[in-house]
Amino acid sequence: MAKDTGEQLGVVAALVRSAFLVDAVYAEAAREHKITPQQGQLLCVLMAQPYGMGELSAMLRLAKSSLTELVDRSARRGLVRREPDPRDGRAIRVALTEQGAELAETFYTAACRRIDELPSVLGPAERDTLAELLGRLVRQNNAPAVFLEPDETSH
């Protein structure tokens, strides 16, 4: 394991290490809720609305075969269901079941709480600056909306 010398990190190392940090915290929350991190992502995405398989594949950046396996595993657990797409009779959408919606909410709340603790060493102004800079980075790179702000999850 690489030693942390306490020196200031460059942008690449800081972004990569922060991504690993967030992934680890997200995975811990998933384990506590007895789901995989990928199932957690799927549930969080579906909190907003049902999506077609193509949309989910693009948002989650998964190959269609991997997404099909993820949806199958989640459906077997009673978390999601496939339903006809009202806009295209040949297509299906994936939606949360009642059980899936409940689990999505509790998982999402736990993940938000844990992730919100990560920058606890920052003051309010620094947190605002961090949010503004990361927000610009996310928007500039068209990152998919796989995780919404807490006030954006109400349907």
The boundaries of the domain holding residue 134 are: 14-143
Q: How many residues does the chain have?
A: 155
Q: Are strands 51-52 and 88-96 parallel, antiparallel or unpaired?
A: antiparallel
Q: Is residue 96 part of a domain?
A: yes
CB burial of residue 104 (10 Å; 0-12, 13-18, 19+) = buried
Domain annotation covers residue 52: yes
Q: Is residue 24 part of a domain?
A: yes
Return the structure tokens found at 144: 């998919």
Angle between helices 37-46 and 98-117 (to 10 degrees): 110
Task: Say if residue 89's pLDDT is above 70.
Answer: yes
| Residue 94, token pair as written in the block | 């994936």
Domain holding 112: CATH number?
1.10.10.10
Q: What is the pTM of this model?
A: 0.83
Q: Tell me the CB-side half-sphere exposure of residue 99, using CA atoms within 13 A.
A: 9
Q: Is the pLDDT of residue 154 over 50?
A: no
**Residues 96-110 pLDDT 10s:** 999 999 999 999 999
**Tokens coding 128:** 């605002």
Q: Answer yes or no: is 86 within a domain.
A: yes
Q: Please give the mean pLDDT across all residues of the chain.
A: 90
> Residue range 56-83: average pLDDT?
95
**Residue 6 falls within a domain, yes or no?**
no
In a domain, 123, yes or no: yes
Q: Judge whether 150 lies within some domain.
A: no
Per the structure, the count of domains in the chain is: 1
What is the per-residue pLDDT for 52?
94
pLDDT at 129 over 60: yes
- Confirm if 144 and 55 have CB atoms less than 8 A apart: no
155 lies in a domain? no
